[in-house]
Amino acid sequence: MATRWYLEKKREHYYKQAKKNGYRARSAFKLLQIQKKFEIIKPGDVVVDLGAAPGGWSQVAKKLVGDSGTIVGIDLLPIDPIRDVTFLKGDMTKAESLQKIKDIVDDKKADVVISDMSPDMSGNYSVDQARSIYLCQQAVKTAEALLKVGGNFICKVFAGEDLQDLRNDINKKFKMVKQFSPPASRKSSSEIFIIARFLKNSQISREKVY
């Protein structure tokens, strides 16, 4: 009972804070808390936001990159405009959506790729968790296509089967990888965020293999 009371209070707290600060979604605080701990986004960065609707993370990212930075957000759903942010409508499981982003952000020119994509919930945890892993795998592919060497990546995923394999894959591609549960995530939530810093130079590692 006390836990439910606490969760309600916490939800209400972030809801009020989001309203007060003009954020479109409480999830904005998750990115702010990730940023506070890991300093992923810098002024002037080019940031690609996957699963961007309704735009909370893009609002935070825009403030962090400032006037000299670039934000491109994409979602299945339409997103109300934000000044100096480009929003695209697209499904990140389709190759054409990556191409839409590439029409704006040249190959290997993004500094940061962030993904808060969540599947439509079926109510069956193993189905939803498997879908979440798949969305994160798509986000990893997108990050590899768009990020500069040294670029950073954030991805939300639900804990469970195949998470370790996903982590192993990300560990191979980035120099530093951590898991983080921001305080703004519900305590009962199984979502975690993978924070991956410094994309490795795959060209160099391939040359080393041969």
Ligand X SMILES: C[S@@+](CC[C@H](N)C(=O)[O-])C[C@H]1O[C@@H](n2cnc3c(N)ncnc32)[C@H](O)[C@@H]1O
Residue 137's CB: how many other CB atoms inside 10 A? 18
Residues in 102-131 that interact with ligand X by CB under 6 A: 116-118
Minimum CB separation from ligand X for residue 139, in Å? Answer: 9
Among 14, 18, 27, 71, binds ligand X (CB under 6 A): 27
DSSP H helical ranges for the chain: 2-21, 28-38, 56-65, 95-102, 125-146, 163-173, 202-209
Q: Which of 14, 18, 25, 136 binds ligand X (CB under 6 A)?
A: 25
CB of 48 to ligand X, least distance (A): 12
CA angle at residue 176 from 170 to 181, to 5 degrees? 80
Residue 17 or 93: the one with the smaller Cβ distance to ligand X is 93
Of 44, 77, 175, 205, the one binding ligand X (CB under 6 A) is 77
14, 18, 41, 55: which one contacts ligand X (CB under 6 A)?
Answer: 55
Catalytic residue among 156, 172, 173, 200: 156
Please confirm, yes or no, whether 156 is among the known catalytic residues: yes
**Token reading at 156:** 């939300």
Interface of this chain with ligand X, residues 4 to 23, rule: CB under 6 A: none
Total binding residues for ligand X by CB under 6 A?
A: 22
* Contact characters 165-194, ligand X, x per CB under 6 A: ------------------------------
DSSP-assigned letter for residue 133:
H
The dihedral of CA 98, 102, 106, 110: what is its sign?
negative
The answer to whether 154 and 40 are in contact (CB under 8 A) is yes
Number of Cβ within 10 Å of residue 31's Cβ equals 27
Count of C-beta atoms within a 10 Å radius of residue 87? 20
Axis-axis angle for helices 125-146, 95-102 (nearest 10): 40
Toward ligand X, which CB reaches closer, 135 or 170?
135
Provide the terminal-to-terminal Cα distance of the chain, rounded to the nearest Å.
61
Of 156 and 197, CB closest to ligand X: 156
Contacting residue, 46, 48, 72, 92, with ligand X by CB under 6 A: 92
Phi, psi of 183 (to 5 degrees): -55, -30
Q: Would you name the residues annotated as active-site residues?
A: 156
- Contact residues toward ligand X (CB under 6 A) are 24-25, 27-28, 51-57, 74-77, 91-93, 116-118, 135
